Structure 1
């Protein structure tokens, strides 16, 4: 899918994975059905996902104009790069790098700062590239690029809902490499335009003014100056055929001796040096970033293997969900088992295949066959008793083993029946929920709290549906 389609997909995912977003089950079913009708039920998942998101975003935008504003916040505007390049070129022309004295000091040539800046930049790019092989942080946007990206991207609407805020964060992460390439290309083109502007201004002023070239130094003699300039301008001299004066002639180039010479040959050498060490490398870097940008724009590498997309693929293929419940330190009564079956059927569909594994005793988490427990599951549910205090080395380790054994989503179910029977439903149950929620949040596992002996099936169903989206 292309960049625009990926943006739509992530927006819809944010809406469908946020509780109380206003996007109903009927809306979801309509989007899936319409996408399958347009693309064909046998079409690749990527195409159906993209079409479904496109249709859904149209419906969402008709209900909330902030949806359109959120999408536009990250939509690239090609005119921005062109405008920045034009401004950079104009700024280069406006700057008089030689000044009113009209003297070109060959030991401090007028574009030396430009060359030094670009040399430092090339070194930084090389270092960041080397570090990027080992560190994801080093591959992120640099400080200048980050500042530029913030300027280009509009802020989210002030009244943005939770789904839109989640989308903006998701898209910023997913599109970071594209943003880096895009911002890098704009900055490289701007640097080229600025350098061209400096050179253009230099030559235009040279039509009406005579620039004099020479040198002066407290510590260097003519021989040393010849050696320095021969090394600096050797590539430009070889390319243009402009020969540098002999060492003896450099004495006459002292400003104190003869006021210098006509600067035209030296300006040609300076301009050629800028072309070799600024324009050419920057052009290559800009082309490289443009290639990355074009590749990501046409084929955005959005992974479709997380639980949200796997569940969508299952629903599109009309396959029943396969739920594996793994009790830990808790034994389900027959009534609790019946209520659990009813809850899963109402939340995930009557065709859902539910299997409850034998209970794992407290402390035996290292001996459990997690692969067998989670085999072929679309949803893995570790089941705990709220009356137990969550222990990272026990309950946490059990969750970790299940999560590592399966690519399916993991949602923890906390049975509150014994806790409510002993302590009632006051503040203590909220305190215990907080303990469990904090322990599971560290592992990025949603927690679902249900009294399996006397459940509020409607509330539990809504909570389970929200957790698995």
Structure 2
């Protein structure tokens, strides 16, 4: 699916995940959206002569739900539209860079070509430094992508989005969750757009400087020369020879000798008014080779990535929420693989896990319950026979008991190993049933429950594996049908 379709699908998922109590979207609304989406997807597929795709079905379903939200909440409609200010930014930034380059001569002498022109040398040196930085940045420890987003990244992904005050609290909460999730999902696309704008802007800035040099040369007579407090003639000759070597090797441009450089020194001899054109050509060719062409190539590569991701947005449809919805299209039933840790799963809790799997992955979902990992076992040894990245399991979840106190050297070591080794992500289930039976009826029991839940939530988040709290004796205690599903950790 394309970017707009993925955006709508992710927004609907956030709404369903937040609306546990069906306050803004009833069960009938959801069933109607799924049924209508299936009919529309089949109609489109029949006209195209192709089978119904998951992306088409999900997009049609999201469209039905968002249309219903817009009809019920007038303030919701404008949020659906992509902010036009972002398109203005991506096109306006290169245009401003071109104008800045054209007016570059305003900060220099319009009647003089300085062989050591600070603005032109700065353009070349800066771009060479950028190329070097692009080569070494991925290898630096701090150059690797970070999972957390910044305010600037969110602004570039969504624009200045402000939620209307008239929205219901549940819908407002869902949209805030959507904004955070979409910022992360579209991170690479946003960075590609930003890179395209910056590379194109740099190319146009240098091109504007070249155009400014030639335009000024038609209405003014340049005097060429140089001056320096610390450099002598030989050093300037060596510097300019290295700088202009690529241009003179490719273009038929007139070179210069040490005597030419000495003759052009301001203060030593009269400036040569007819010598400006040679240096304009040299600088223009150098800027073209070292700045304009490389930056255009980088902008073209960024544009290729933008076009690819815009047309085929990388949305993972293997997540439990999508698997449950896509059961209407058929296909093999999903499988929930559970890895208990120091947890004896009795018959009642085994039944609760089966119900949880059905609610997450559809009625035909299967449960794959692995033997419990003993407390203190080495994760590598305990999971030696478990293929974390095989296709047999739709979702792999580690199961903890809320009654246990999380420990970094045991529970944390297991989570770190699973997050690091699982390319498809790992889910964390924390069962509250045992701890609730122990402290629920005691004085201060609810407070102790809340404190233990907060402890586990913080602990799992620290290990990059957000926790999902369940009650295996009463699976309905925590609604999951609204789309919350299991929270998968990002693969390392």
TM class by shorter chain equals 0.7 to 0.9
Determine the C-alpha separation between the residues in 2 that align with 1:364 and 1:100.
75
- 1:154 aligned to which of 146, 153, 159: 159
Residues 429 and 398 (structure 1), Cα distance of their counterparts in 2 relative to 1, 3 Å cut: farther
Does 2:272 correspond to 1:260?
yes
- 2:242 aligned to which of 231, 244, 250: 231
- 1:61 aligned to which of 38, 55, 70: 70
Determine the C-alpha separation between the residues in 1 that align with 2:211 and 2:342.
76
Identify the residue that residue 11 of structure 2 maps to in structure 1.
Answer: 11
Could you tell me how far 1:112 is from its partner in structure 2? 1.3
- 1:302 aligned to which of 315, 320, 338: 315
Extract unaligned runs of 5+ from structure 1.
Answer: none
Identify the residue that residue 452 of structure 2 maps to in structure 1.
Answer: 435
Could you tell me how far 1:228 is from its partner in structure 2? 3.0
Could you tell me how far 1:266 is from its partner in structure 2? 1.1
Name which one, 1 or 2, has greater alpha-carbon Rg.
1
Could you tell me how far 1:233 is from its partner in structure 2? 1.8
Identify the residue that residue 180 of structure 1 maps to in structure 2.
Answer: 191
Contact 2:336/2:397 (CA < 8 Å) preserved in 1?
Answer: yes
Contact 1:106/1:213 (CA < 8 Å) preserved in 2?
Answer: yes
Determine the C-alpha separation between the residues in 1 that align with 2:415 and 2:103.
65
Does 2:93 correspond to 1:84?
yes
Determine the C-alpha separation between the residues in 2 that align with 1:397 and 1:225.
61
**SS class of match (1:204):** helix
Contact 1:347/1:465 (CA < 8 Å) preserved in 2?
Answer: no
Q: Equivalent residues in 2 for 1:74-113 (5 A)?
A: 77-96=86-105, 99-100=108-109, 102-108=111-117, 110-113=119-122
Identify the residue that residue 326 of structure 2 maps to in structure 1.
Answer: 313
Determine the C-alpha separation between the residues in 2 that align with 1:166 and 1:264.
60
Residues 213 and 35 (structure 1), Cα distance of their counterparts in 2 relative to 1, 3 Å cut: same
Contact 2:341/2:374 (CA < 8 Å) preserved in 1?
Answer: no
Report the count of equivalent residues: 454
TM-score where L is the length of structure 1: 0.77
Contact 2:41/2:57 (CA < 8 Å) preserved in 1?
Answer: yes
Could you tell me how far 1:274 is from its partner in structure 2? 1.0
Q: Equivalent residues in 2 for 1:348-363 (5 A)?
A: 363=375
Contact 1:128/1:139 (CA < 8 Å) preserved in 2?
Answer: no
Q: Equivalent residues in 2 for 1:29-428 (5 A)?
A: 29-40=31-42, 43-72=52-81, 77-96=86-105, 99-100=108-109, 102-108=111-117, 110-131=119-140, 136-137=144-145, 147=152, 150=155, 153-158=158-163, 159=165, 161-256=172-267, 257-262=269-274, 263-314=276-327, 316-317=329-330, 363=375, 382=399, 384=401, 388-392=403-407, 411-415=429-433, 419=437, 424=441, 426-428=443-445
Contact 1:448/1:464 (CA < 8 Å) preserved in 2?
Answer: no
Contact 1:9/1:50 (CA < 8 Å) preserved in 2?
Answer: yes
Contact 1:149/1:183 (CA < 8 Å) preserved in 2?
Answer: no
Alpha-carbon deviations, 1:268-307, whole Å to 9, x = none?
2111111111111111111111111111111111111122
Contact 1:92/1:194 (CA < 8 Å) preserved in 2?
Answer: yes
Could you tell me how far 1:33 is from its partner in structure 2? 1.4
Identify the residue that residue 48 of structure 2 maps to in structure 1.
Answer: none
Could you tell me how far 1:428 is from its partner in structure 2? 1.8
Determine the C-alpha separation between the residues in 2 that align with 1:446 and 1:409.
8
Could you tell me how far 1:174 is from its partner in structure 2? 0.9
TM-score where L is the length of structure 2: 0.74
Contact 1:382/1:399 (CA < 8 Å) preserved in 2?
Answer: no
Could you tell me how far 1:162 is from its partner in structure 2? 1.2
Residues 32 and 357 (structure 1), Cα distance of their counterparts in 2 relative to 1, 3 Å cut: same
Q: Is the deviation greater in 312-321 or in 302-311?
A: 312-321
**SS class of match (1:258):** coil
Q: CA RMSD in A?
A: 4.6
Alpha-carbon deviations, 1:164-187, whole Å to 9, x = none?
111111111111111111111111
Contact 2:224/2:272 (CA < 8 Å) preserved in 1?
Answer: yes
Alpha-carbon deviations, 1:130-186, whole Å to 9, x = none?
449x96327999x9xx85873674233234711111111111111111111111111
